[in-house]
Amino acid sequence: MSAVESSPVQMPAKRRMAQLGMLAFAVVIVMAAYANVGLALTNQVPAGMLGYGLGLGGLILAAYLVLAKFAPWADPLILPLVTLVNGIGLVMIYRIQEGKGGAGASVNTQLLWTAVGIVMFSVTLIVLRDHRALQRLTYTAGFVGLALLVAPLVPGIGEEINGAQIWIDLGFATLQPAEFVKLALVVFFAGYLVAKRDVLALAGRRLLFIDLPRARDLGPVLITWAVSLGVLVLQKDLGSSLLLFGTFIAMLYIATQRTSWVLIGVLLFVGGAILAGQVFGHVQDRLEVYLNPQDPALFDKVGGSAQLMQGLWALASGGILGTGLGQGRPGEIPLSFSDFIFPATGEELGLTGLMALLMVYALIVQRGLRTALAARDPFSKLLAGGLSFIVAWQVFIIVGGVTNLIPLTGLVTPFMSQGGSALLANWILIALLVRMSDAARRPAPQAIQDEGLTQVFQR
C-alpha cells in the first residue's frame, strides 16, 4: 500500500463510503416500513412508494454530497441516524393520514418541510465554514433569541393555538419562533459562559459537601429563571420554559463543573412552578391534569386529560411488540401526527420499537457529546454540549409528558412530529453539530505531513 493510499488525507473517502452505505440502509428501513403500512391497510404496496423512496433518497443524497464536500471529517453516524428518525416520522404520518381519524396529517407537507430542512442543513454547512465565528455574535444571538421569544405576545402578530400563545402569523403560514429561539440562545449561552466561567466557578460558602456559588454571581441564573417563568405564565408554554432554563443550567454545569448550580436550578424551577400553580389558573389546570389524569371531570376541559389518556391507552394496547405497522388505531389520539406521535408509534411498534427509537436518539446525543469532548476550544465544547443537551432534554420532556411522568408540554418529538418550524430548527441544529464535528476530528496539517513521511520511511 502506498503512502498516499494510507494517508489520513484519504481517511474521509473511506468514511464517506461507509456513511453512504449507512444512509442507504436507513432509507431501505424506511421504505420497508412504508411498504408494511400499505400491505396492512390495503393488502398491496402503496402506489406512491417509488416516488416517496426516490424523493427521500434524493434529498438525503444531496445532503450527503454537501457533507462530503464541506465537512468531510464530520462524524459519519450523525446524518444516517437523523435520516432514520426523520424517515420513521414520515412513515407514521403517512400511516395516520391513511387511517381513520387522520384529519390534519399530511405526509406530502412533511416531505416538503424535510426538503426545506435539508436545504437549510446544506446552506448552514456551506455558509458557516468556521463555527467559531458565532462567538463574535454572542450578544447579537441573545438579542435575536429574546426578540423571537416575545414576538408571539405582540398584538397583530402573535396567534394563540390550543391554548398556547407561541405562534406568529406570517399570512401564508404560522411559525413557532421558540424552535429557533433555542438555537440563538444556546449560542448566546456558550459565548457568555466562556467569558464568565472563571467568575461563575468561584466557590462561596460550603454547605455539607457542596460548595455554593457566591451570592453576587446568582444574577445570570435568576434572570434566566425569570425569563423561563415569563414564558410559562404569559405564553402558557411549559415545554419551552423547561427547555430554556434546563439548557442554561446544563451549560452552566459544563462550563464550571459545579454541582451546586444544578441543585440551585432545580430548586428555583420547582419553586417557581409551584408558585405559578398557586397564582395562575392555567398552570394550576395543567398540574391538576398531571396529578389526576383519570378523573372523568377533566376529560372534556380545554387542555384536559382526554388526549393524555388516549395516548396512555395506545401505549398499553401496543404492549411489548406492538400491534404492527398499520394495525393499530392511532387516529383515536388527538394530534397523533404531531404532539402525540410518540404514543401512536408505540402502539404499533410496541415497547421494543420505542426502545430502539430512543436508542437512536441516544446515539445522536452521544455523538454530539463526543464532539464536545473532542473540541479544541471552550466555546466549541459548550456549544456542542448545549446542542446535544437540547436534543436529549426535548426527547425527555416529550416522553415524560405523554407517559405522565411529568406534566404534559407543547413540545414535539424531534424529526418525527409533523410541523415545519421544529423540523427546520432541528436540521440547522444537526448542521451545527456536523460542522463542529468536522473541526474537532480534522487532523492538523502538520500531523498529516508527518504521518505521510513516516509511512514513506517505513516502506
Instruction: For strands 164-169 and 158-161, give the pairing.
Output: antiparallel
Cβ proximity of 31 and 46 under 8 Å: no
How much is the pLDDT for 178? 87
Residue type (1 letter), 2: S
How much is the pLDDT for 288? 84
How much is the pLDDT for 303? 62
Instruction: State how far the Cα of 345 lies from the Cα of 330, in Å rounded to an integer.
Output: 8
- Mean pLDDT of each 10-residue bin along the chain, 459 residues long: 42 77 94 93 86 89 93 93 96 90 84 95 95 93 91 79 72 81 94 86 64 73 87 80 90 87 87 79 79 79 78 93 91 88 94 96 96 92 95 94 87 90 95 95 64 49
Taking alpha carbons only, the member of 24, 25, 48 closest to residue 38 is 48
pTM: 0.90
How much is the pLDDT for 453? 44
Instruction: State how far the Cα of 251 lies from the Cα of 262, in Å rounded to an integer.
Output: 10
Instruction: State how far the Cα of 193 lies from the Cα of 159, in Å rounded to an integer.
Output: 34
How much is the pLDDT for 155? 79
How much is the pLDDT for 355? 96
DSSP 313-380: HHHHHHTTT-S-TTSS-GGGSTTTTTTTHHHHHHHHHHHHHHHHHHHHHHHHHHHHHHHHHH-SSHHH
How much is the pLDDT for 78? 95
Taking alpha carbons only, the member of 81, 84, 67 closest to residue 125 is 67
Instruction: State how far the Cα of 383 lies from the Cα of 431, in Å rounded to an integer.
Output: 13
